[in-house]
Amino acid sequence: MTPDSQPVTITGIGSVSPHGPLAGIIPKLRLEPTTITAWTTEGQRRAFLVPPFRPAAVVPGLKTRRLDRLSAWALVASSLAIRDAGIDLTQIDRSRVAVVFATAFGCIELTEAFYLSAAAHGWNGTDPVTFPETLASSPASHVAMFHGLRGPNITVSNKYFGGESAILQAAGVIRHAQADLAIVLAGDTLAQTLYAWYEQADLLSPACYNSNPVEDDGFVPSEGVAALVMESSARIKDRPGGRNYARITSGRWAAASGHPAEIIRQMLHGARPTVAICSGNGAPCALSPTSSLARETTGDDCVVTSPQAFARGLAGSGALFHLISGLGDLADTPRSHEQALFLGTARDNGFAAILLELS
C-alpha cells in the first residue's frame, strides 16, 4: 500500500477481551491476570483470560452452542464492530463485504479435543462434528455465515504481524475493488497445550505464577478477538453520521530488513506522524526497539503510546488490540488530521508500519 493509494477508513470497533465484550475503544483500565481453572495445574497459573459471558446476551439471536470460543468471540466481536459502525447489513450488498481474520494458533481448543478423542477412541473413532471446526478458517467462515457476507473470506497467520497483515490484506482487497467493506478480525484462545508450550520455552513472566502485579518482565498469555470495520474512504462520504476512527493511508511490512527506518521514511513520503502506536509482540524486549524505531523515523517529539499488558500476551494476533487501545489513549485529546504511525517490529529488523490519519 503506497502513499498514493486510495485511503481506507476504520469505521467500527468491537472486541472480546479480558475486559469482556465491548463496542468501540477499550477503556484505560488496569487489568491483572486471573487464575486458570479450565485445566488442572501444579500450583497457581495465571493468564489474562476472557471472563465467561453469554454471547446471546450481547448479540441477540446468536447461537454458539456448537462452536468453540474463538468462533463465538469472532461472531460477537464482529457484531459489535458492525453495530459500532452504524451499519445495517440488510441495506448493503453483502457480496461486497470481505472477512479477513488473523490468528496464530487457530482453533487450538478443538484441535486439542480432536486429538484427545483420537487418544480415547483411536484414529478410526474421532468426532466428525469436531473435525471441520478445527480449521483455522472456521471463525471467519462462521462470521460470513452469520452475517451473510459473501465477499472474499481470508484467514492469515503471521508469527509477529498477524493483525497488521490482516489490515493490509483487507485494505488491498478494498483498494482493488474486490470488496467495498471488510470485517477485519484478529485473535486467539488460550489452551492447555499452548500454555504448556510457553512454559517449556521459558517465556512466561513471574506474574504467571504468583499474585504480583504484571511488570515489563515477561509474557503473560492472553486471549480474545478484536474486530475492525474498514471501508473505502470514498464510500463513507455517502454515509453521513458514520464513525471515523482513523484513515489508513499507507503501509509497508517486511519479515526482515537491512534498513527498516529508511523504508518506513519512504512510506511516510514526507508525512510527520505526531503519535506512534507500538505493537509489542509479547516479548518484553520488543517494545524498546519498536519505540526506538518509531522515534528514529518520526522524530523525538513523537508521542509513543504504551500498549495494554494483556494485548502483549496475544503473540502474533494482538496487533488489533494494540491499535484499539492506542486509539483509546488518544481519544482524550483532539487530534483531527494528525497522523499516527502504527508500528510493530520483530527480530532481524522485521517490521510492519501503517500510517494513519486520525480524526
Under rule CB under 8 A, which residues in 134-153 are in contact with other proteins? 134-138, 140-142, 144-145, 147-153
Q: Which of 14, 55, 187, 316 binds other proteins (CB under 8 A)?
A: 316
240: phi then psi, degrees, rounded to nearest 5: -60, 145
Q: Which residue has the cell 522485521?
A: 350
Nearer to other proteins by Cβ, of 113 and 275: the residue is 113
Nearer to other proteins by Cβ, of 182 and 356: the residue is 182
**With binding defined as CB under 8 A, does residue 359 bind other proteins?**
no
DSSP 215-257: -SSSB--B-EEEEEEEEEHHHHHTSTT----EEEEEEEEESS-
**With binding defined as CB under 8 A, does residue 306 bind other proteins?**
no
15: phi then psi, degrees, rounded to nearest 5: -160, 155
**With binding defined as CB under 8 A, does residue 233 bind other proteins?**
no
Paired strand residues for 357: 247, 339
Tell me if residue 102 falls in helix, strand or coil.
Answer: strand
Q: Could you tell me which residues come within 8 angstroms of residue 28 by beta carbon, excluding any fewer than 6 positions away?
A: 325, 328, 329
Contacts with other proteins by CB under 8 A: the residue count is 74
Please report, as residue ranges, which positions from 81 to 140 form the binding site for other proteins (by CB under 8 A).
94-95, 99, 104-106, 111-112, 114-116, 118-119, 122-124, 126-128, 131-138, 140
Nearer to other proteins by Cβ, of 16 and 167: the residue is 167
Q: Which of 158, 205, 232, 249 binds other proteins (CB under 8 A)?
A: 158
* Cα distances (angstroms) measured from residue 144 to each of 101, 133, 277, 287, 350: 11, 14, 30, 35, 32
Question: Residues, the chain, total?
Answer: 359
Question: Nine-digit cell at 4?
Answer: 498514493
Question: In the complex, what is the shortest distance from the CB of residue 14 to other proteins, in angstroms, rounded to a whole number?
Answer: 19
Question: In the complex, what is the shortest distance from the CB of residue 195 to other proteins, in angstroms, rounded to a whole number?
Answer: 10
**With binding defined as CB under 8 A, does residue 20 bind other proteins?**
no
Nearer to other proteins by Cβ, of 254 and 294: the residue is 254
Identify the CA nearest to 277 among candidates 220, 338, 217: 338
**With binding defined as CB under 8 A, does residue 255 bind other proteins?**
yes
Question: In the complex, what is the shortest distance from the CB of residue 248 to other proteins, in angstroms, rounded to a whole number?
Answer: 12
Nearer to other proteins by Cβ, of 56 and 145: the residue is 145
Tell me if residue 197 falls in helix, strand or coil.
Answer: helix
Say how far apart CA 146 and CA 312 lie, in whole Å: 30
**With binding defined as CB under 8 A, does residue 165 bind other proteins?**
yes
Question: In the complex, what is the shortest distance from the CB of residue 18 to other proteins, in angstroms, rounded to a whole number?
Answer: 22
Q: Which of 38, 56, 256, 285 binds other proteins (CB under 8 A)?
A: 256
SS3 of 298-310: HCCCCEEECCCHH
**With binding defined as CB under 8 A, does residue 211 bind other proteins?**
no
**With binding defined as CB under 8 A, does residue 191 bind other proteins?**
no
Site string for other proteins, 257-286 (x = CB under 8 A): xx----------------------------
Angle at CA of residue 138, ends 136 and 186, nearest 5°: 65
Q: Which of 26, 154, 167, 275 binds other proteins (CB under 8 A)?
A: 154
Q: Which of 9, 15, 155, 232 binds other proteins (CB under 8 A)?
A: 155
**With binding defined as CB under 8 A, does residue 176 bind other proteins?**
yes
Asked if residues 124 and 180 have their Cβ atoms less than 8 Å apart, the reply is no
**With binding defined as CB under 8 A, does residue 163 bind other proteins?**
no
Identify the CA nearest to 187 among candidates 72, 285, 83: 72
